[in-house]
A and B are shown apart, each in its own frame.
Chain A
Amino acid sequence: MAAHSRTRSAAYRRSATVALVLALLTVIEFFAALYFNSIVILMLMALFKAVLVLNYFMHVSRLWTPDEEGHEA
């Protein structure tokens, strides 16, 4: 029960950390546009944010490791 609670807390913490990084990147993106206005920099930042969302929020890896977590499946 305690282990279950710990893993649950760890999952919530990871979720918050990813969201925080995404928020930080969005702010950096905004100021990068103001000072550099480079398509390459902005698209690279967007790509990095997309990878974070794909990996941590959309669980793309479950496609090739389907029973890793989540469902009993």
Chain B
Amino acid sequence: MSAVAATIDQYRRQLRINRMGLWLFFISEAFLFGGLLVVRFYLWGNTRPELDQVIGLIVTSVLLASSFSMNLAETGMEYNDRKTFSRGLIMTFIFGLIFLIGVVIFEWGLIPSLYEGHLKPSSGVYGAVVFAMTGMHALHVITGLIFIAIVWNLGRKGHYSSERHWGVESCAIYWHYVDLVWIFFYPALYLIGHVAH
């Protein structure tokens, strides 16, 4: 086996291990988010707090758009289309930031002079669950944003190629996981059950 073939073979093996490691991490995270969902259904049953439906729909759409732009960025790198890669990552970062602002400033009401939130963490089971679920998710969004910034910077310096871009792939998969969690959190928080008064 030539030196080049040996290097490629080693990279293949490493890539398989990396992917498996990332998915095992997701499985462990699923227990965390799954636990929060169980708490929601146990404590709220078929009720829900009165949350702003418009904000819920907007932040969900924005996160969905961010998944699309992230996929464009990853596909761009796969095909050596660096302009799409860079633009896609920047758009994903902006969408992610809008999502975070939508949740923190509007849903949480962190700046009451700008928007009075509906709930406080101390507002009984409703406040506690809403803040636990959105808080844990927001923490992952922040991590994702940092990850995106790092990958964008490394990509700008030419760290990735169409053949070798595990950093881009892992960042994209992580971001889609954040979206995946919200796919279940959105109906659980905003849609399922009757509004409790």
Contacts and interface: CB of A to CB of B under 8 A. Distances in A.
Contacts of B163: 71-73
Contact of A30 (B70, B162, B191): B191
B173 A58 contact: yes
Categorize the interface residue count of chain A.
35 or more
Prevailing SS type, chain B contact patch: helix
Contact of A66 (B15, B53, B68, B72): B15
Contact of A42 (B164, B192, B194): B192
Interface in A3-37: 4, 7-8, 11-12, 15-16, 18-19, 22-23, 26, 29-30, 33, 37
A35 B64 CA distance: 23
A53 B180 contact: yes
A72 B10 CA distance: 12
A54 B192 contact: no
Given A15-B68, A29-B191, A69 B173 contact: no
A72 B64 CA distance: 29
B194 A37 contact: yes
B179 A53 contact: yes
A39 interface: yes
Contacts of A49: 183
A58 B75 contact: no
Interface of B: 8, 11-12, 15-16, 19-20, 23, 46, 53, 57, 60-61, 64-65, 67-68, 70-72, 75, 78-79, 81, 84, 162-166, 169, 172-173, 176-177, 179-180, 183-184, 186-187, 190-194
15 contacts: A26-B60, A29-B191, A30-B191, A33-B187, A33-B192, A37-B191, A37-B194, A39-B192, A42-B191, A42-B192, A57-B176, A60-B23, A63-B20, A67-B12, A71-B164
